[in-house]
Amino acid sequence: MGTRASFWKGDPRDLKSREWLGCKAWDGYPDGIPGIEKVKDLRGFNRVVKKLREAGELCDPAKGWPYPWADDIFLTDYTYAFFDGKLWVSCYHGGLMSLKEYSKRNLSGESFPADPTCLNVPAPLQYNPKQPDSIIVISRQ
């Protein structure tokens, strides 16, 4: 199973002003995204997202949310957003923090307690199981 990530311009919790840029179905952890550690401004963030899109690694936002958790975007393994002049990352519901803070906590083994502001934040569009990043669940009755 892949490590998924979503990418946002603006605070993903702000339903009125956020812009969803796409989702990545695999290698969504920071080391799996070339150049993410070098992002210093919006232009750099856009460049990283553009390279992922050109490589065919991002779903098309116009086609709908690619995951069945459309009622809670922070269930995605990683959420990356650029707002307030810097790059933010969240691991599950662990709250938004700088990439430096995330790396420090991750290396120390420190847990990422849930941040109430990152719970039950809806996706911008309905779930579309036809998106290439979708998860298919098959069960036997």
Instruction: Provide the pLDDT for residue 20.
Output: 97
Q: Does residue 126 lie within any of the structural domains?
A: no
Domain assignment of residue 71, given as a range = 5-118
Burial string for 6-25 (b: 16+ CB within 10 Å, else e) reads: bbbbbbbbeeeebebbbbbb
Query: What is the number of structural domains in the chain?
Result: 1
Which regions of the chain are under pLDDT 70?
1, 133-139, 141
What is the spatial distance between Cα 35 and Cα 30, in angstroms, rounded to a whole number? Answer: 9
Q: Does residue 134 lie within any of the structural domains?
A: no
Q: Does residue 62 lie within any of the structural domains?
A: yes
Q: Does residue 140 lie within any of the structural domains?
A: no
Q: Which pTM does this prediction carry?
A: 0.91
Instruction: Provide the pLDDT for residue 1.
Output: 56
The CB density around residue 32, as the number of other CB atoms within 10 Å, is 15
Q: Does residue 38 lie within any of the structural domains?
A: yes
